[in-house]
Amino acid sequence: MLMPIKTPVYMDYHATTPVDPRVLETMLPFFSQDFGNASSTDHLFGARAAEAVQKSREQIASLINARPEEIIFTSGATESDNLAIQGVANSYKEKGKHIVTCTTEHKAVLNTCKYLQDLGWSVTYLPVDKFGIVDLAKLEEAITDHTVLISLMFANNEIGTIAPIEEIGRIARAHGVFLHTDAAQAAGHIPVDVDGMNIDLMSISSHKVYGPKGAGALFLRRHGGRVKPLPIIQGGGQERGLRSGTENVPGIVGMGKAFEIARSEMDSESRRLLQWTERMRSAFESKARAEQNGHPIQRLPHNLNMYFKGVDAKALIQMLVHEVAISAGSACTTREVEPSHVLLALGFAPERAYSSVRFGLGRFNTGEEVDFAIEKVLSSVAHLRKIFA
């Protein structure tokens, strides 16, 4: 006998993920038992906390082929993006004041670049093709003698398109320019190799990979071309002086465990989620005349962004609110009334942006939930089209 499906079914895993029970179990002792300050190591409480923080560095470094000393803990990917971009800008402004990024970046990158522009920096915003991919020839053309940083997202948070980071890394290295990538949606979901891909700085997040919110990290290359950004937070000099403030030990411990789990389960999980997103895409295309946004192949396995012509995305989301939890785009901009800047950057009209929704599948979804979601979305789309025809 099939168990009834608990509703609403959560399919917004790009916005955030539930904490894995194994992660929570690992964290709990550090709230009340091993509660020491990792910077206060004169006694066992602090020493145990410091040891746990170091273990987390090792767990995270193992997943991305880095060294533990290259992991700087932050509050999340947004802070990591700011530390990477502002830190490099402040440290290397004597070399030049030019940054290269692209139009589909997360607002944590775009707004940081705009902030630097107000301070006199020059920023090149590269266009993308209809799938969200930067033209590598245009990237190389954009680099000048004054360029100090390229910041391009590893995998897009709205459409799931995966950037050719390895090729971008080769271009950056050939020109002596640092490469930063926001990998919040990639690390723990697809293979990431900071050494093999010539990545100098990389932002990652805990709550996108079944860890707790409020924990993140910045990979900072220290070997084979060391990068030395200046801190943007002043204080007690924690995290090698780059991120002052008492370490969030429970969050850091949870993030380390989450990345350890991702390392062992990523391949099998990706295969399962890709099967489900493909099942949904096929059903929506054949039965609702929907079209996929983003790259059809070079994309995150758990991402699906679909355009339902003639259907207002917000109306669809509200109609499904008690059955399936989906979104219209980035969780950081859902309160805005403007269409998705990512979909507009692909060359689509605002109408397509207003009629597109994002499905983000995850570890705790089931095949039955996928079939349930397909059924509910199809019936809701048909109903809305009938009303507004």
Q: Output the six-digit token pair for 353.
A: 């942006």
Residue 234's CB is within 10 A of a number of other CB atoms, namely 9
Long-range CB pairs of 342-347 (<8 Å, 24+ gap) are 342/104, 342/132, 342/156, 342/158, 342/159, 343/158, 343/159, 343/293, 345/102, 345/103, 345/104, 345/127, 345/128, 345/132, 346/104, 346/128, 346/129, 346/130, 346/131, 346/132, 346/159, 346/293, 347/130
113 flagged as catalytic: no
CB atoms within 10 A of CB 173: 17
DSSP β-bridge partners for residue 71? 219
Query: Which helix (H) or strand (E) segment is 216 a member of?
Result: strand 216-220
Gap between the Cα atoms of 321 and 9, Å rounded: 9
The catalytic residue among 136, 233, 274, 332 is: 332
CA–CA dist 281, 370 (Å, integer): 11
Catalytic positions: 332
